[in-house]
Structure 1
Amino acid sequence: MRDAGLVRQSTVYRAGTLGRRPVVPTDFAELERRARRASSAEAWAYVAGGAGEGRTMRRNRAAFDRWAIVPRMAAGAVDRDLSTEVLGTRLTSPLLLAPVGAGALMGKDSDLAIATGAAATGTPYVFSNQGCNPMEECAAAMGDTPRWFQLYWSKDERLVDSLIARAEAIGAGALVVTLDTTVLGWRPQDLNLGSLPFAKGLGIAQYTSDPVFQEIAAERARQPQERPKVTLGAIRALLAMSRNHPGSFWANLRSPLPRASVETFLDIYSNPGLSWEHLATLKRRTSLPVVLKGILDVEDARRAFAIGVDALVVSNHGGRQVDNAVASLDALVEIRAALGPEPTLLLDSGIRTGADVFTALALGADAVLLGRPHLYGFALAGAHGVAEVIRNVVAELDLTMALTGARDIASITRELVREQPA
């Protein structure tokens, strides 16, 4: 992406002379405000909420604020090259879209729209294991644009293998195993509303489209089921399950399968007993590069590379799992210092702007994953909104490079940032 910043500025300003302002705000604060207005209470609690008192979310941002960029003058960085290589794939910029579960809370066919918006900008998308559209449909929407697949390790090993095989079949460039959600964290915003999207069949499309899961759920549906007490809430839940399950709404309403699928998902979607022994089996179960997401500790990072994984995503799950956890950026600095320049490290959690991307790269990230901002763009303007958020972030990264004298991604080094006194 050459001159991405100047092209983006020109597009916005030229439209402005004709009286047209951006549908998607160019700053994160306004983007978040408008997305909140466009969302239901349940959607906002799930997408924007964090664990406990929200200290980890605040710490993620405080970590970025502690580092200042040091502009360098008269460097003549007229042409900037934002491309980079990650796990053997050439990317147009060091930005990927993070997996976000149950995105349909913010709008219909969320994963398809995000895939389409990502493809419009050539940006890789990590398909969520808790997505609302099957990975095959999302892959078709992306064409040749790189895609990865996030794996939640199920209690059922056959299901794990089935999901891996499907990821290979859609041409995924990597398997991203999320380690930090073997159980859901304490999320008061959702709890106070009694709202869990998966309990209504939302965010389980990778499962209901999977042949192994279908087998397990069908067997459950054949067993005698206790009838829930008939209440208005129970009726609403049944209607939601029927609406979110594949197939005809009216046929689903008469079938035990939607409810059986939800209950099966809740029982087996993640394995609390996930261990390093499980993870060590991956290299013989798939030919895909293996990425572990959720690493925050140096010893865990060393152990991961010792069992042969290809990359790590340093992440605290956007502050959604453990309250008062270490900031992802702080963990990145420690892990990079301990492991040296060679291992591939990506950063997730807290990225909001192009300046944030620059800071993360300067502190040792090879690339970053953008989470909530792209979902906010989707809430405002569908696939177009996703693409606009990406263009804005990449444009700011490009202009920051121009103003600091960085001609390419390799030029974004530790010398271009400075830690500020507390």
Structure 2
Amino acid sequence: MSAESDHTVVVGAGLAAAHTVQALREGGYAGSITLIGDEPVPPYERPPLSKEYLQGRKKLAEVFVHDAGWYAERGIDARWGTRAEGIDRDARTVRLATGEGVPYTRLVLATGAVPRTLDVPGASLPGVHTLRRIGDADVLRAAFDTGGRLAIVGAGWIGLEVASSARQAGLEVTVVAPNAVPLEAALGPDIGRYFAELHRRNGTDLRMNTSVTGILEANGRAAGLATDAGEVWADLVLVAVGAAPDTALAAAAGLEVDNGVVVDARLRTRDPSVLAAGDVANAEHASLGRLRVEHWDNAIRQGKLAAATILADSVPGSAAEAGGGALYDWLPYFFTDQYDVGMEYVGRAGGGADVVVRGDPDSGEFIAFWTEGGRVTAAMNVNIWDVGDVLRGIVGREVPRERLADAGIELEDL
């Protein structure tokens, strides 16, 4: 077992953090653990914030990874509603907003990401919102109950998922974005057009190739959007233009920061006592190069990997020690639910990838493959279930595009 004098501190009580501390205890870590998060609730899953929780189909308790008692039962010192304000790497201490210093032998930074905002007149008006935390979702839910008009800036995952939830709640929804089609950077123009048609078919006023120049104001509150193509009046404005890694603590402590906290394939920074995991980690992938991924699956897996790295160093005879520690080697995965469409995506397609579609998108059920140089780099299933593992196995193979497109050939035979 690990020495009881070991003390692991995890800063940022999100999904990666919850799975770090869980995997540590399950792996036999006997040292003390402190979990520090600035939200007043235990770690929770964020995907429901734009979907089931926002729609009222999930209660607050259902989005928690574990209830508060779970942490206490495992001897984890959970500091909810506590902000970490600094790291003294020489003294190996985390300084809290209360002035207290928490010592560590190993530190895991799981500070996540923060929503990007707009740099336009009126951006700080009341009634302009982002969606990252439970409290943000609660504000939107309350607005859903009163109905009205919602203007969304951004046609990425959060913007489209909230648009879907809002339309299903009966709101009038306008989405404004500068790109030609939704999700263009992630999925390319062809699949982007599929999602554009999905939203327009369900009543969303989708205004692409449009830039926001300001926030309209009425009675001291946001009242919509000023754009280069006219005004969009609304009762509520949501800014969903992506997120930036929350690297302030790491940068102030002198750790290497470049689109996230820079870590190796075992999530270690150049300081051997400090790791980073989840949305904030810019990690070296075993085969794909350096990646920073902001998705649910990656946060869970990197939390477990951070724990495996610590266990390999600190728990004699552990499985992690025997294997020398695991590596960041899995394919990125994400999912979305919008209206009657459920989608899963695995892999990583470059900007020049060619898209091959198997099936008829108009039927609502199809599979898409992205290929580069004849090799499959990513795959997506839409309303076709239980094929995720098969698609994951296809990614990386060289498969002729005519075979990928031929629905008469079983996926298992590709």
The two structures share one fold, judged by TM-score above 0.5: no
More RCO (CA 8 Å, sep 6+): 1
Higher strand share: 2
- Larger radius of gyration between Structure 1 and Structure 2: 2
TM-score, scaled relative to structure 2: 0.29
